[in-house]
Amino acid sequence: MLASILCVSAFCVELWRAMSGNSLSWAYVFEWPLLLGYGVYLWHRLLADERGEPVRPAVDSTPEEIAALEAWNQHLAALHAADAAERIEREGR
């Protein structure tokens, strides 16, 4: 939330500066919305990861790529389970 407020306010400031004649600010006028969009995308991916949603293969993926992705997801699940078991063991001591 704070990052989006920062990006929107920086966009407004740079737009005001660009309209006042600062030609370098035009680059920032386009940069801040892109940065905001990227931040929202990463936040969405982080939430999906937190919920445990697997990474979905692209529609045009080959069977080998899909198998590799499934193997990777299984590896990550095993690491997560081992980490959770270790944390429980540490807290139990």
Query: Are residues 29 and 18 in contact, defined by beta-carbon separation less than 8 angstroms?
Result: yes
What is the structure's pLDDT at 44? 87
SS percent in the chain: helix, strand, coil, step 5: 80, 0, 20
What is the structure's pLDDT at 12? 94
pTM: 0.52
Q: State yes or no: pLDDT of 92 exceeds 90.
A: no
Q: State yes or no: pLDDT of 48 exceeds 90.
A: no
Nearest 10 degrees: CA dihedral of 58, 79, 43, 39? Answer: -80
Q: State yes or no: pLDDT of 81 exceeds 80.
A: yes
Reported as a single tens digit per residue, the pLDDT across 5-46 is 988 999 999 999 999 998 988 999 999 999 999 999 998 888
In 3D space, the residue among 37, 33, 42 whose CA is nearest the CA of residue 15 turns out to be 33
User: Distance between CA 31 and CA 4 in Å, rounded?
Assistant: 13
Q: Where are the domains of the chain?
A: 1-53, 57-93
